[in-house]
Amino acid sequence: MTRSTVDLDELSRLCYAAVLSDVCDSLGRRHSTMNPRIGHLAGPRQAVVGWARTVQSLAVDQTPVRHYGREIDFIDSLMPGDFVVATVDGPAAFWGELFSTAAMARGARGVVIDGLIRDSGRIDEVGFPAYGVGRRPTDCLGRISIDTTDEPILCADVLVRSGDLIICDADGVTVVPSDVASEAVERALVKAQTESRAKELLNSGAFLRDAWERFGVL
């Protein structure tokens, strides 16, 4: 499986964070879900899937000569299918409306920030999925700045590398390491279909134990 062979829209429609978490467990990757301090903040709530692009942003105490220079360079480098994953050390909002607009125009799928956003109502209007810790109107200029990109980061207690598969929904965020992504996707699609069949059986009046014995999912 490669980026070019995965239909991210179809995967987003058929899978969800919990099923990929279960699959990661079955593959021995039992630390795949981000700390629940990360939640949906703006944009569509349905499941969305993409490929991680990592960012580490640190607190600063002076305004750079080139305003927003590193942020501009990073967002302009985004490619279709990318999913921004950022860890932010600082008291300001790392992400807002215009970042969302630019990222969406580049084909990015969403953003997960172990930190803050602003312009959440306007991001809703843009339609860009944004997950993070909270909201604050404070601008990042002169307060936080990108330190590294595309390096491994610890985001909400999960190690994330660029190229990992990210899935977000109302439950939170699951990170699928790139080295098991192909098998994880195959298993997740099967599991999601099996869970749908189990739900149909339960809707027909069957006991939960019957569904478990027949399908082995809960």
Higher pLDDT: 197 or 127? It is 127
Residue 215 lies in a domain: no
Per-residue pLDDT tens digits for 33-57? 999 999 999 999 999 999 999 999 9
Pairing of strands 130-132, 39-42: antiparallel
Return the pLDDT at 61. 92
In a domain, 22, yes or no: no
Query: Residue 126 and residue 100: Cα distance in Å, rounded?
Result: 7
Q: Residue 130: inside a domain, yes or no?
A: yes
Q: What is the chain's length?
A: 218
pLDDT of residue 218: 81
The closest alpha carbon to 47, from 77, 88, 16, 73, belongs to: 16
How far, in Å, are 25, 181, 193, 212 from residue 21 at the CA level? 6, 12, 16, 19
Mean pLDDT of the 177-187 span: 95
Residue 6's pLDDT is what?
83
Domain membership flag for residue 35: yes
Q: By residue range, what is the domain housing residue 54?
A: 3-15+28-177
The pLDDT value recorded for residue 184 is 95
Looking at residue 193, what is its pLDDT? 87
Q: What is the CATH number of the domain that holds 51?
A: 3.50.30.40
Q: Starting at the edge strand that comes first in sequence, how are the strands of the sheet with 116-117 ordered?
A: 93-95, 116-117, 134-135
Domains in the chain, number: 1
Share of the chain above pLDDT 90, in %: 87
77-133: per-residue pLDDT in tens?
A: 999 999 999 999 999 999 999 999 999 999 999 999 999 999 999 999 999 999 999
pTM confidence score: 0.93
Residue 153 domain-assigned? yes
In a domain, 80, yes or no: yes
Tell me, what's the pLDDT at 4? 65
> What would the pLDDT profile of 138-175 be if each residue is shown by its tens digit?
999 999 999 999 999 999 999 999 999 999 999 999 99
Residue 12 has pLDDT above 70, yes or no: yes
Domain membership flag for residue 21: no
Q: What is the model's pLDDT at position 2?
A: 62
Whether 67 maps to a domain, the answer reads: yes
- Per-residue model confidence (pLDDT) at position 85: 98
pLDDT at 5: 78
The whole-number pLDDT of residue 217 equals 86
